[in-house]
Amino acid sequence: MKKRVVSVLMAFAMAASLAACGSSSDGGSAVTQAADDDGTQANAIAAQTAAAETGDETADGIAGIWKAAADEADDANPGENDDRGFKKFDHVVEVHYGYQVDPTDKTLPEGDKVDDNQYTRYLLDNYNIKVICDWTAGNNSDFQQKVSLAIASDSLPDAVIAPNRNYLVQAARAGELADLGQVFNDYASKQVKEIVETTGDRAFNNGTVDGTFVALPNITVDTDGVYVYFIRQDWLDKLGLEAPKTVDELEEVAKKFMDEGLSPDYAIAGIDSGGRTYSNFLNSSNNGYGYDAVYQAFNATPGYFLRDDSGKLYWGTTTDETKAALTELHDWYEEGLINPEIGVTTNGDNANNVKNGTCGIFMGPWWSLGYGNPDSFKNDNNADWQAYPLYTNDGEWNIHMKDIGTTYTMVNANASDEVKQAIVIMNNVLVRDESIFDTSVAIAWYPLRNTMAAADECEYEYNALMDILNGKAKVEDYQIGGAKFNGLYKNLANDAATLYDVFPEGYDTSKGIHVQDMDVNTNNGQFNRFIAILDGDRPYATITPDHKIYSELYYTIDGMDTFWTTVSDLEDSEILKFITGARSLDEWDQFCNDWHVQGGDQILQLVDDFLAQ
């Protein structure tokens, strides 16, 4: 099965390459996509056609490659893939799922609920897919516990998102997951396959356990793993302060925010209950309100498998650099600069002071701005949050690089063929149509939302949207048939078309992107997106990091499980204690020794042997 899946994906890669070679000099895609069966969706991505300059000959060539590969693999005819990928069932197909729901999200209109909202109704009306939510959880730890219990009791719903690959491996080896190889070949849209192919074989391998493709892998933009800090620029301006560059400068600004009464409780937000203060190799992205930016400024990369200059494998947590970062964070805690209930607050309460305008600094990836703190802008239309890198004292910007994705859509082995098809179609629809929804209702309400995106999507969009604002390009350039249209970047056509809903025409970007000049309310969903991309991703889109640090491994391997549970639990509990003072940093060496003795050394040897194969 793996061979057949790979053969079709490889065929798509060849097709995409030919499209690029045969396209006009602007790089527009020649890959065509059909509208859905009943023609109800008149949106750009749904009706993708080859740019006029490419002509029909190239598209025919691509179709021929698809057909030849499909015939050889005995799989779906490629010309039918998008017909199948967006087909409407002739009867209602029910999909049961479990889901994590943010209890602080208030964007659902009155009367709507987790499985009855604009997204679920869209699936029912257009595809006859009816989703039924069997259970929900309100925070990370509760959700992880429910997924664990469902696996342990062999009671998974039709589908659920695996929080990381550990859950996927456990469920697969217990025989609880469906083989998705054939249904993915037959029903994944061309756009989805193109995105998968941008990762080489990494996405396919991530979703494969013991040779069987058992889950739809999450594929996220690279910048999801790039951690910056966000700060109230309007407060900096009020106090006549420059944006901090180093940890010491950030500390001084935090103190001034508190001294001036702008942040009366604490100046720097922290993690919620069940969160981690840094990402690790299994969860390498989207660590909102963590302190990854601080660790990186100390040349520390905790939670990663790394190699020293001699090539020896080591664990990034048990280092002097991590201890130095923890010492700084502990000092901040003692000085009252960070949330005194770090790691204790629940249900998103850690974000309350950010939202109500009494906390002026927090950390996270690009989406943390706009998507992550929408209420702060609604509560104060002049809350001018800006994003900045945090440098080492030597003036270098370190970033740890994420895995291609960290979550997985698991499908129950007992799910019917139609249910499996429906789950793949739901994913196709999300990838294709996300940009056309009214995202003032948080896109997180889309059932089984497990995103797929080209790795450079945010940076590409940043430059495209800035070109429009600067008058170097037109909105029409990014629409179907436009000089710069590229269907791989699934949100760009809609983003370009709605840009002036939020920005005034003739906006002067030389002064930067500031909330005071934007319309927060007219198209709030797009405002959240634009502030996230144009401010939140500005550092990564415009500044070249000095060091990009990759983990040697991003998933568990055979033999690790028993040891990993022990050392992971040790690390998660003790790191937070070092920050809060519940454990003295004088005991750091003992903690490191415990990590190595209780299974860390065995893990390092297993990983080293695995990587040497």
Q: Classify residue 393: in a domain, yes or no.
A: yes
Q: Give residue 81's pLDDT.
A: 60
Q: Note down the domain range covering 97.
A: 91-223+403-445
- CATH number of domain containing 411: 3.40.190.10
Residues 113 and 178 in one domain: yes
What pTM did the predictor assign? 0.77
Last residue of a domain, one of 26, 50, 79: 79
| Listed residue (145, 164, 161) closest to 402, CA to CA | 164
Mode of pairing for the β-strands spanning 547-549 and 228-232: unpaired
Same domain, 374 and 504: yes
Mean local confidence (pLDDT), 262-290? 90
Q: Is 476 within the bounds of a domain?
A: yes
Using DSSP's 3-state secondary structure scheme, residue 217 falls into: strand
Tell whether 176 and 192 lie within a shared domain: yes
Number of domains forming the structure of the chain: 4
Residue 86 lies in a domain: no
Asked whether residue 451 is assigned to any structural domain, the reply reads no
Closest of 193, 219, 240 to residue 31, by C-alpha: 193
Inside any domain, residue 452: no
Kindly tell me if the per-residue pLDDT of 33 is higher than 70.
no
Partners of residue 228 on adjacent β-strands: 364
**Last-in-domain residue among 49, 79, 109:** 79
Lowest mean pLDDT among 228-237, 268-277, 315-324: 268-277
Residue 73 lies in a domain: yes
The predicted structure's pLDDT at residue 25: 26
- Asked whether the predicted pLDDT for residue 403 surpasses 50, the reply is yes
CA distances from 154 to 145, 472, 521 (A): 14, 57, 46
**Region 297-306 average pLDDT:** 98
Instruction: Based on the fold, state whether residues 95 and 191 are members of the same structural domain.
Output: yes
**3-class SS at 409?**
strand
**What angle do helix axes 417-433 and 118-127 make, rounded to 10 degrees?**
120
* Residues with Cβ within 8 Å of residue 134, at least 6 apart in sequence: 96, 97, 98, 157
Phi, psi dihedrals of residue 92, rounded to the nearest 5°: -75, 130
pLDDT per residue over 537-547, tens digit each? 999 999 999 99
Co-location of 366 and 423 in the same domain? no
* Mean pLDDT within 391-396: 98
Same domain, 213 and 251: no
**Does one domain contain both 336 and 426?**
no
Total Cβ atoms within 10 A of residue 542 = 11
Residues 112, 37: one domain?
Answer: no
Task: Look at residue 335 in the predicted model and tell me its pLDDT.
Answer: 97
Q: Is pLDDT of 62 > 80? A: no
| pLDDT for the residue 5 | 40
Confidence of residue 114 (pLDDT cuts 50, 70, 90): very high
pLDDT of residue 347: 62
Predicted confidence (pLDDT) per residue in 180-194, tens digit: 999 999 999 988 998
pLDDT digits (tens, 9 = 90+) for 190-220: 889 989 988 888 899 889 999 999 999 999 8
pLDDT beyond 90 at 46: no
Same-domain status, 60 and 175: no
For residue 402, give Cα distances in angstroms to 107, 551, 552, 578: 29, 8, 11, 25
pLDDT of residue 589: 98
- Select from 50, 79, 108 the last residue of a domain: 79
Does 54 map to a domain? yes
Q: Strands 212-213, 215-217: parallel, antiparallel or unpaired by DSSP?
A: unpaired
Nearest CA to 518 out of 538, 499, 495 is that of 499
> What band does 30 get if pLDDT is binned at 50, 70 and 90?
very low
95-107: per-residue pLDDT in tens? 999 999 988 888 9
Q: Are residues 466 and 547 in the same domain?
A: yes
397 with 407, same domain: the answer is: no
- Give yes or no for residue 22 having a pLDDT over 70: no
Residue 20 reports pLDDT greater than 70: no
Q: Are residues 525 and 570 in the same domain?
A: no
